[in-house]
């Protein structure tokens, strides 16, 4: 199996308000097509870990590989590019650009990547929206759609550049059970049908149990 | 890699959805630049008018023969007293002729000088104007009319009649408007001139002039140089003053000194005669620029404020952009381009506003006794001001946008996303 993401001995300290050892010697890897969830109590460091894995947080010790390429210590510009190309991110809160239309929101990372023409990007974006069954919302302003719809738009945006891995920070945490289940089904489907690797931080036991693998965290360490 | 298309489209969306704030910010620049253009055009126009008022009719170097006590007394020349302390009481100047000795050759030589645009003769004389029973004291100046027109804009001060009439009529006089009013005379009337020596000379009024200085207009009049010589009963080489106009006014001081040395005459340069004048011009320019820069700084702070607010409002957007692969530099460019768009749009509108206002001022009636030829406010439409204006707009918005956008660049997306 091909390794998509690998973390080696990651240590992280919070300096404020007091020096605090958040992550202690975290090592694990994710294979291509794997659907992994990270569970743990509030404050155990699971979100912190996710932000390190997503390359947004660079203040840590240890090594992080993405597609067998070392990303630790790379320049910010380079990390932005890696994030743009290889990582899709879904947050707990919907985080769409509220002044743009749904379609524009989805297209934005692809435009930034600049690999394809505008027409191709638009076609791709429509396809992702269709995949998530929200193509009828394409022209609406992002601020005018419901929470569940927003989260699906966010997933479509995360998928637009066909990333190596999709990361989620409690993507269902802010949704009702119907929408949460809906989002889970989408993830499952992406994993099964498209072979997408997923790494989802969650509180939701039901959610986690249905994934391929659960990484249980406690006090900054991987327990299971 | 910078993808300008995406950056500009995001900037555009931000600006358009916050149209009110954008407009406010742009209007700040518009008024700043508009006020700058209007002010600077008007002020420099005014400066130029005032400069012209003095410079055009004032000779750059005025040469004349002055009666003054000798600096060197005979006792100083006598060798036996060279080591003594001499006191001479009650020194009086010697009566010398008022005319410039050898004026014609001097004129010819001056006119050949490459620094000199032209040197022209004048004859100044005191006389009485006599019309009926009224007798008024005054000054008559004999001039080379067409040369005065060419070098000193003499034509601008003739309110009735023309310079050519004076040139062609050896019995004509161009009377000061004040004199004409006092004596109830008009163009075509006759008037007699009595010289100090007592000769009476009839002249015909061919025109009226108004310099704007009442004291001058009440006594001064002009005649042809030959007429003046005839009135005074002098020969054709009788000349009392030489007025010199230079190509470059900066040479006036050195030239005046040279003439004094070379011809043993009194030569006064315009800088000495009008020293306070340049100070006025400098100070007016200083005020113009101080006010304009203040306006632009205020506009710059407006932009700074609005962008700062925008960035606080857009924290989430910035975090999202960064999370989805936009680099800090991209985000900075998004906000910088917003500032620059505000600056350029506001600046161009400001240029148009300034253009409009300065043309309105240019058309506004401005009636002044001092300047008979000026009918509207003077405005200097110099394209350079527009260039300075737009450069200023772009520079000030650049700095106003730079600080907030740098802040946006440094925003840590993790803190924003976690902070929810």
Whether residue B327 and residue A114 make contact (CB cut-off 8 A), yes or no, is no
Asked whether residue B41 carries a pLDDT value surpassing 70, the answer given is: yes
How far is B366 from chain A, CA to nearest CA, in Å? 53
Which chain A residue shows the shortest CA-CA distance from B329? A77
For chain A, the first-to-last Cα distance in angstroms comes to 21
CB contact under 8 A, A83 and B13: no
Of B5, B326, B417, the CB nearest to A91: B417
Minimal Cβ distance to B13: which of A83, A100, A169: A100
More confident residue, A159 or B303: A159
Mean pLDDT of A141-166: 86
Q: Does pLDDT of B145 surpass 70?
A: yes
Please state the rounded mean pLDDT for residues A79-102: 85
**SS3 of residue A16 by DSSP:** coil
Please state the rounded mean pLDDT for residues B284-293. 82
* Whether residue B220 has pLDDT greater than 80: yes
Burial class (CB in 10 A: 0-12, 13-18, 19+), B297: middle
Residue B363's nearest CA partner among B14, B42, B23, B16 is B42
Q: Quick one: pLDDT at residue B204?
A: 92
pLDDT digits (tens, 9 = 90+) for B322-346: 888 888 888 899 989 988 998 899 9
Structural domain of A99: 3-222
Number of domains in chain A: 1
Rounded (5°) CA angle A173-A179-A180: 40
Chain A residues interacting with chain B (CB cutoff of 8 angstroms): 47, 51, 54, 56-57, 76-77, 80-81, 83-85, 89, 91-93, 95-100, 104, 108-109, 111-114, 157, 161, 169
Give B140's pLDDT tier (boundaries 50, 70, 90). Answer: very high
Provide the angle, in degrees to the nearest 10, between the axes of the packed helices B4-17 and A102-113. Answer: 150
Is there a contact between B325 and A91 if contact means CB atoms under 8 Å apart?
A: no
Residues of B whose CB is below 8 A from A112: 3, 6, 324-326, 330
B338/chain A closest Cα distance in angstroms? 15
Q: What is the CATH number of the domain that holds A179?
A: 3.40.50.300
pLDDT recorded at residue B369:
66
Q: How confident is the model at residue B66 (pLDDT cuts 50, 70, 90)?
A: confident
CB pairs under 8 A between A and B: 75
Q: What is the mean pLDDT of chain A?
A: 85
Question: Over the stretch B79-103, which tens digit does the pLDDT of each residue have?
Answer: 888 888 888 888 888 777 788 888 8
Structure tokens at A108: 């934005």
Which pLDDT score, from 0 to 100, does residue B372 have? 65
Q: What is the mean pLDDT of residues A140-168?
A: 86
Facing residue for A112 by CB, picked from B6, B319, B418: B6
Q: Judge whether residue B351 has pLDDT over 90.
A: yes
Residue range B352-381, pLDDT digits in tens: 999 999 999 888 888 776 666 677 888 888
Q: Is A133 left (phi over 0), alpha (psi -120 to 50) or beta?
A: left
Would you say residue A103 has pLDDT above 70? yes
User: Which residues from B are below 8 Å from A95, CB to CB?
Assistant: 316, 319-320, 323, 417
Q: Do B3 and A111 touch (CB under 8 A)?
A: yes
Rounded to the nearest angstrom, the minimum Cα separation between B341 and chain A is: 19
Disruptive mutation site among A95, A141, A159, A167 for chain B (greatest number of B CBs within 10 Å) = A95
Give the per-residue pLDDT at B420: 53
* pLDDT beyond 70 at A1: no
DSSP, residue by residue, B294-357: HHHHHHHHHHHHHHHHHHHHTHHHHHHHHHTT--HHHHHHHHHHHHHHHHHHHHHHHHHHHHHH
pLDDT in tens, A175-214: 788 888 888 888 888 888 888 889 988 888 888 888 888 8
Minimal C-alpha gap between B336 and chain A (Å): 18
Least confidently predicted of A12-16, A55-59, B270-274: B270-274
pLDDT in tens, B382-420: 898 899 888 888 888 888 888 888 888 888 888 887 775
Q: Which residues of A touch B325 (CB under 8 A)?
A: 80-81, 83-85, 109, 112-113, 161
Which of A61-65, B269-273, B394-398 has the lowest average pLDDT? Answer: B269-273
> Of A60, A112, A114, A163, which to mutate for an interface test with B (greatest number of B Cβ within 10 Å)?
A112
């Amino acid at each position: 199996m091909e390794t998509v993401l690998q973390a080696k001995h990651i240590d992280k300290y919070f300096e404020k308000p007091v020096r605090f050892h958040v992550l202690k010697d975290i090592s694990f890897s994710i294979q291509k097509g794997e659907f992994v969830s990270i569970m743990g109590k509030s404050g155990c460091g699971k979100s912190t870990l996710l932000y390190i894995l997503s390359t947004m947080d660079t203040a840590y010790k240890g090594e992080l590989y993405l597609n067998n390429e070392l990303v630790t210590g790379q320049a910010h510009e380079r990390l932005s590019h890696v994030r743009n190309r290889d990582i899709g991110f879904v947050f707990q809160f919907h985080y769409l650009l509220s002044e743009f239309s749904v379609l524009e929101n989805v297209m934005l990372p692809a435009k930034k990547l600049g690999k394809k023409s505008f027409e191709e990007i638009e076609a791709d974006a429509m396809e992702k929206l269709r995949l998530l069954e929200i193509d009828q919302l394409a022209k609406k302003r992002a601020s005018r759609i419901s929470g569940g719809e927003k989260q699906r738009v966010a997933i479509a945006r995360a998928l637009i550049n066909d990333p190596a891995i999709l990361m989620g920070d409690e993507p269902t945490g802010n949704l009702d059970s119907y929408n949460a289940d809906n989002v889970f089904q989408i993830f499952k489907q992406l994993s099964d049908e498209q072979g997408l690797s997923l790494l989802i931080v969650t509180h939701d036991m039901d959610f986690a149990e249905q994934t391929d693998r659960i990484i249980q965290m406690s006090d900054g360490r991987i327990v299971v | 890699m910078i993808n300008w298309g995406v950056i500009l489209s995001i900037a555009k969306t931000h600006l358009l959805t916050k149209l009110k704030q954008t407009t406010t910010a742009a209007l700040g620049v518009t008024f700043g630049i508009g006020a700058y253009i209007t002010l600077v055009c008007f002020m420099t126009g005014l400066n130029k008018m005032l400069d012209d008022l003095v410079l055009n009719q004032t000779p750059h170097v005025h040469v004349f023969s002055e009666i003054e006590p000798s600096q060197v007394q005979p006792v100083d020349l006598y060798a036996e007293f060279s080591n003594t302390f001499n006191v001479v009481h009650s020194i009086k100047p010697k009566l010398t002729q008022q005319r410039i000795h050898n004026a014609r050759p001097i004129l010819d030589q001056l006119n050949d000088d490459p620094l000199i645009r032209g040197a022209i003769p004048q004859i100044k004389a005191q006389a009485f104007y006599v019309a009926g029973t009224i007798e008024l004291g005054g000054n008559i100046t004999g001039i080379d009319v067409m040369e005065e027109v060419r070098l000193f804009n003499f034509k601008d001060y003739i309110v009735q009649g023309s310079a050519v009439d004076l040139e062609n009529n050896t019995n004509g006089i161009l009377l000061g408007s004040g004199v004409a009013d006092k004596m109830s005379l008009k163009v075509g009337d006759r008037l007699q001139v009595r010289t100090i020596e007592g000769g009476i000379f009839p002249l015909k009024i061919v025109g009226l002039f108004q310099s704007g200085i009442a004291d001058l207009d009440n006594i001064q009049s002009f005649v042809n140089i030959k007429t003046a010589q005839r009135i005074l009963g002098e020969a054709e080489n009788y000349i009392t003053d030489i007025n010199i106009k230079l190509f470059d006014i900066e040479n006036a001081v050195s030239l005046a000194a040279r003439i004094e040395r070379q011809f043993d005459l009194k030569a006064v340069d315009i800088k000495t005669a009008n020293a306070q004048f340049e100070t006025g011009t400098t100070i007016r320019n200083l005020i113009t620029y101080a006010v304009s820069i203040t306006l632009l700084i205020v506009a710059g702070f407006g932009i700074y404020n609005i962008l700062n607010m925008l960035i606080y409002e857009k924290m989430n957007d910035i975090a999202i952009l960064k999370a989805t692969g936009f680099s800090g530099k991209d985000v900075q460019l998004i906000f910088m381009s917003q500032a620059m768009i505000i600056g350029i749009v506001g600046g161009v509108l400001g240029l148009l506003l300034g253009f409009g206002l300065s043309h309105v001022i240019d058309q506004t009636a401005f009636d002044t006794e001092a300047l008979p030829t000026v009918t509207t406010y003077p405005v200097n439409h110099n394209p350079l001001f527009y260039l300075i204006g737009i450069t200023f707009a772009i520079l000030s918005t650049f700095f106003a946008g730079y600080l907030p956008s740098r802040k946006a660049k440094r925003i840590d997306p993790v803190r924003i996303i976690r902070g929810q």
